[in-house]
Amino acid sequence: MIIKTTCTPASMFSGERFSVTYRIYGDEKEARAKAESICIEQTVEFPAECVGKGTIRDHVFGKIESFERRHGDSFHAVISYAVEIAAGELTQLLNVIFGNTSIKPGIRVEHLDLPFTLTTGYQGPRFGRKGLRELLRIPARPLLCTAIKPMGLSCDELSDMAYHFALGGMDMIKDDHGLTDQRCSPFEERVKKCAEAVGKANKETAGSTIYVANITGPSSKIRDRAIFAKKAGAGGLMIAPGLAGFDLMRELAEDDSIGLPILTHPAFLGSFVTGHGGMAHGVIFGQLARLAGADATIFPNFGGRFSFSRDECAAIVQGTVEPMGHLRTIFPAPGGGMSLSRVPEMLETYGRDLIFLIGGGLFQHGPDLAENCRHFRTMVEKME
């Protein structure tokens, strides 16, 4: 049985296409067959032989634009899709890129090439690198960020910690991503006290430190938490799109009644990068974070307690800065088991456009938190 497509005119398709580079494991024959199946799986999900000549075959099917061996064990296939099938929705764009194909082993999304007609539908990062530097009044040096933790402390203890971090000259003080709305540190009380504590320290030091509230939580409460945080004096928001959804982050970023910088946290996204399938680090932590409006992307630094390589971290940086239409460049924020001793090596790898995210390591340097922060900041300033 052949499906005819008499009612959908070709004029509904502009001819503009976006491209996804897939790394496909296997021998050439197998990899090419997989590339061909992606063209169908990600679009019509329907037996190709049942689709007659016409608009669907010409425009809706994915098209292999190139196919070549790039590694001994795998091939790179660039497959293009009509921008119209993504329907101007981030959720559907993700679906076309990798929806069903995510379930097939040995296929990895390596890169996205999105034409202007597609990116123009996204506001992207509200601040980006430039805006965040202006907000924090730091024209050139790396930014310094730390986290209040551990979970289990009271709001008074956490805000006291935030106060000392700010006194010591950290630029951004964020909630640990595990702090949401636990009874020992409820969201509203914590955010109010921490924002106040950081404000108090700013007055004493004439500083511009911002408190970044973690607003990850139940879907329908996230916007309310963002607005509460803003009113309470938070200077930024953190959200984990793996838990809350990339599209919800996009909506927050595009919401003019919020208008705070957004840090994205990688929690629950790791499975995309730990296997042979999934997505390349630069796509999920770089390009997608940026398309969805993050101003900075947190990820595990190489050589820490996670397993990212230096190359994988460099690929994330590439995703934060490569041309993507009008989308602003964003800050990479490597962290995770960082210690002060790693600073020189990181500056060498990342350059100065990065956010140093240091958590537990600040506690291990000496007994005085503010003093530990000053030491860290001085070390970074000296290296300018």
With CB under 8 A as the contact rule, the residue among 96, 198, 280, 333 that binds a second copy is 96
Shortest spacing between CB 356 and a second copy, in angstroms: 17
Our CB check for a second copy shows the closer of 176 and 353 to be 176
Our CB check for a second copy shows the closer of 14 and 66 to be 14
With CB under 8 A as the contact rule, the residue among 169, 199, 235, 278 that binds a second copy is 278
In the region spanning residues 178 to 197, those forming contacts with a second copy, defined by CB under 8 A, are: 178, 180-184
**Cα 63 to Cα 81: distance, rounded to the nearest angstrom:** 7
With CB under 8 A as the contact rule, the residue among 363, 374, 375, 379 that binds a second copy is 363
99-122 CB burial, b ≥16 within 10 A, e <16: eebbeeebbbbbbbbbeeebbebb
For residues 232 to 271, the per-residue mask of contacts with a second copy, x marking binding by CB under 8 A and - elsewhere, is --------x-xxxx-xx--x--------------xxxxxx
How many residues bind a second copy (CB under 8 A)? The answer is: 96
Number of H helices, E strands in the chain: 17, 12
Our CB check for a second copy shows the closer of 56 and 64 to be 56
Task: Tell me the β-bridge partners of 179.
Answer: none
**Cα 64 to Cα 82: distance, rounded to the nearest angstrom:** 12
Our CB check for a second copy shows the closer of 129 and 149 to be 149
C-alpha separations of 369 from 69, 84, 166, 268, 364 in Å: 52, 53, 10, 30, 9
With CB under 8 A as the contact rule, the residue among 23, 59, 133, 225 that binds a second copy is 59
Interface region with a second copy, contact rule CB under 8 A, candidates 2-10, 165-173, 227-235, 326-334: 2-10
Residue 301 carries which DSSP code?
P
Shortest spacing between CB 135 and a second copy, in angstroms: 26
Assess 100 for contact with a second copy (CB under 8 A).
yes
Shortest spacing between CB 383 and a second copy, in angstroms: 25
Contacts of residue 19, defined as CB under 8 A and 6 or more positions apart, other chains included, come to 65, 78, 79, 80, 81, 112, 113
With CB under 8 A as the contact rule, the residue among 102, 146, 159, 264 that binds a second copy is 102
**Cα 87 to Cα 68: distance, rounded to the nearest angstrom:** 30
In the region spanning residues 12 to 31, those forming contacts with a second copy, defined by CB under 8 A, are: 12
**Cα 216 to Cα 302: distance, rounded to the nearest angstrom:** 25
**Residue among 236, 246, 193 nearest 214 (CA):** 236
**What is the residue-wise DSSP string for 145-211?**
EEEE--BTB-HHHHHHHHHHHHHTT-SEEEE-TT-SS-TTS-HHHHHHHHHHHHHHHHHHHT---EE
In the region spanning residues 299 to 358, those forming contacts with a second copy, defined by CB under 8 A, are: 300, 305-307, 336
Phi, psi of 346 (to 5 degrees): -70, -40
Our CB check for a second copy shows the closer of 275 and 351 to be 275
Interface region with a second copy, contact rule CB under 8 A, candidates 40-48, 117-125, 138-146, 196-204: 40-48
Shortest spacing between CB 357 and a second copy, in angstroms: 12
**Cα 346 to Cα 342: distance, rounded to the nearest angstrom:** 6
In the region spanning residues 141 to 180, those forming contacts with a second copy, defined by CB under 8 A, are: 149-154, 156-157, 176-178, 180
Assess 360 for contact with a second copy (CB under 8 A).
yes
Assess 46 for contact with a second copy (CB under 8 A).
yes
Shortest spacing between CB 124 and a second copy, in angstroms: 15
Residue 57 carries which DSSP code?
I
**Cα 85 to Cα 41: distance, rounded to the nearest angstrom:** 13
Whether the CA torsion 84, 85, 87, 88 is positive or negative: it is negative
Our CB check for a second copy shows the closer of 195 and 288 to be 288
